[in-house]
């Protein structure tokens, strides 16, 4: 039986992490995204697209040097939390502390609060509100720490979210057609080159969650199942052959990658969802260990 330790100073630790991850995710672009942008710029055959990719890389460089945001859109704050074995934590207090951290980040940095109420469009200027931050909480027996990933989701890419409850008779061909059709319909609006997340299977809500979670995977990291990995490459190349290009201005680079996550589903269902992450590909990760040690990464 695994022994369980109580995390010391948990609330202060999570509040500080909420603040830090929300700010850092918007300043420091993950290394895999930088590498993918550089490689795309080197490969591009369209001169204008090459220039656009170079401008993006310059924006990343300026953000590094001046510690400024890569883009003015602070996005919807979303946390993906996985609680491993051997750590006792007050879950409700942890989520409240992360929320306070986002509020502090907004006030102290300061950041534009992009969050408003659904009907009255009221802005508390805290980047929080009912249901926001969005928290996804899971448990895992495979890790001995708490894994927290912050994803500030920009509206340009988040508005390009699509779900279709296909029929089993539509098969994989229907899934491929839907992904391609949505990429073409989205055009330049999600600020390409995007990371396209595809969810296949589950219920409608799970399918969309899988699509969004798929965008978190580092660019270039393939799905461990070989048939799904092959489908990722096929869809990536098919979307890039549309010629939509960076910011929709034409070129070879419409997506940096396509990632797929799947779940089993009902015998009469064949759900597919698409969720796009814009070129800045923001995410920031913390691993919190039972003794209070924290590793920050991507
Ligand atoms: S979707 Fe576009 S505007 Fe919004 S954060 Fe991404 S790059 Fe910026």
Note whether 218 and 233 are same-domain residues.
Answer: yes
Domain membership of residue 228 (yes or no) is yes
pLDDT digits (tens, 9 = 90+) for 159-186: 999 999 999 999 999 999 999 999 999 9
Note whether 199 and 244 are same-domain residues.
Answer: yes
Note whether 131 and 165 are same-domain residues.
Answer: no
Note whether 89 and 230 are same-domain residues.
Answer: no
Domain membership of residue 207 (yes or no) is yes
pLDDT digits (tens, 9 = 90+) for 226-279: 999 999 999 999 999 999 999 999 999 999 999 999 999 999 999 999 999 999
Sign, CA dihedral 48-156-111-67, equals negative
How many residues can be counted in the chain? 298
- The response to whether residue 20 sits with its C-beta less than 6 Å from ligand 1 reads no
Nearest-atom number in ligand 1 for the CA of 70 is 8
What pLDDT, on a 0 to 100 scale, did the predictor assign at position 91? 95
Domain membership of residue 42 (yes or no) is no
Average pLDDT, the chain: 97
Note whether 186 and 162 are same-domain residues.
Answer: yes
Contact in structure between 265 and 134 (CB atoms under 8 Å): no
Note whether 115 and 165 are same-domain residues.
Answer: no
pLDDT > 90? residue 1: no
Output phi, psi for 170, to 5 deg: -70, -25
Query: Range of 79's domain?
Result: 5-27+70-154+282-297
pLDDT digits (tens, 9 = 90+) for 112-136: 999 999 999 999 999 999 999 999 9
Domain with residue 122: its CATH number is: 3.30.360
pLDDT > 90? residue 5: no
Q: How confident is the model at residue 6 (pLDDT cuts 50, 70, 90)?
A: confident
Nearest CA to ligand 1 atom 1: 156
Q: Which stretch of 2-6, 82-86, 202-206 has the lowest confidence by average pLDDT?
A: 2-6
Nearest-atom number in ligand 1 for the CA of 278 is 6
Domain membership of residue 47 (yes or no) is no
Q: Ligand 1 centroid to 163 CA: how many Å?
A: 21
Note whether 222 and 92 are same-domain residues.
Answer: no
pLDDT digits (tens, 9 = 90+) for 46-57: 999 999 999 999
Q: Which of 25, 68, 154, 192 has most ligand 1 atoms within 8 Å of CB, for mutation?
A: 154
Distance CA 22, CA 228 (A): 32
Distance CA 22, CA 117 (A): 20
Note whether 150 and 200 are same-domain residues.
Answer: no
As a whole-number percent, the residues of the chain with pLDDT over 70 amount to 99
pTM for this prediction: 0.96
Domain membership of residue 53 (yes or no) is no
Note whether 132 and 21 are same-domain residues.
Answer: yes
Number of domains in the chain: 2
Residue for token pair 């306070």:
100
Note whether 288 and 249 are same-domain residues.
Answer: no
- The response to whether residue 157 sits with its C-beta less than 6 Å from ligand 1 reads yes
What pLDDT, on a 0 to 100 scale, did the predictor assign at position 167? 98
Domain membership of residue 292 (yes or no) is yes
What pLDDT, on a 0 to 100 scale, did the predictor assign at position 239? 98
pLDDT > 90? residue 155: yes
Note whether 130 and 13 are same-domain residues.
Answer: yes
Note whether 140 and 262 are same-domain residues.
Answer: no
């Amino acid at each position: 039986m695994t022994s369980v330790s109580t995390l010391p100073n948990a609330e202060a630790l999570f509040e500080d992490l909420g603040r830090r991850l929300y700010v850092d995710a918007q300043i420091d672009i993950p290394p895999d995204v930088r590498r993918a942008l550089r490689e795309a710029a080197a490969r591009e055959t369209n001169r204008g697209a090459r220039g656009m990719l170079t401008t993006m890389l310059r924006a990343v460089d300026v953000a590094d040097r001046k510690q400024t945001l890569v883009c003015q859109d602070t996005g919807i704050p979303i946390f993906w939390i996985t609680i491993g074995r051997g750590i006792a934590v007050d879950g409700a207090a942890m989520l409240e502390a992360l929320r306070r951290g986002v509020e502090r980040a907004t006030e102290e940095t300061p950041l534009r609060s992009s969050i408003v109420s659904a009907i009255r469009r009221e802005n508390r200027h805290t980047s929080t509100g009912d249901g926001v931050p969005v928290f996804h909480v899971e448990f895992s027996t495979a890790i001995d720490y708490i894994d927290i990933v912050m994803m500030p989701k920009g509206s340009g890419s988040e508005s390009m979210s699509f779900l279709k409850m296909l029929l089993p008779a539509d098969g994989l061909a229907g899934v491929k057609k839907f992904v391609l059709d949505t990429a073409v319909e989205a055009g330049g609006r999600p600020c390409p080159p995007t990371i396209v997340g595809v969810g296949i299977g589950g219920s409608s809500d799970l399918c969309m969650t899988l699509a969004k979670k798929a965008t978190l995977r580092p660019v270039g990291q393939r799905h461990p199942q070989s048939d799904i990995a092959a489908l990722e490459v096929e869809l990536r190349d098919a979307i890039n052959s549309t010629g939509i290009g960076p910011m929709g201005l034409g070129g070879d680079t419409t997506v940096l990658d396509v990632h797929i996550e799947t779940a089993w589903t009902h015998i009469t269902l064949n759900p597919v969802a698409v969720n796009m992450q814009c070129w800045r590909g923001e995410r920031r990760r913390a691993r919190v260990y039972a003794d209070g040690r924290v590793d920050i990464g991507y």
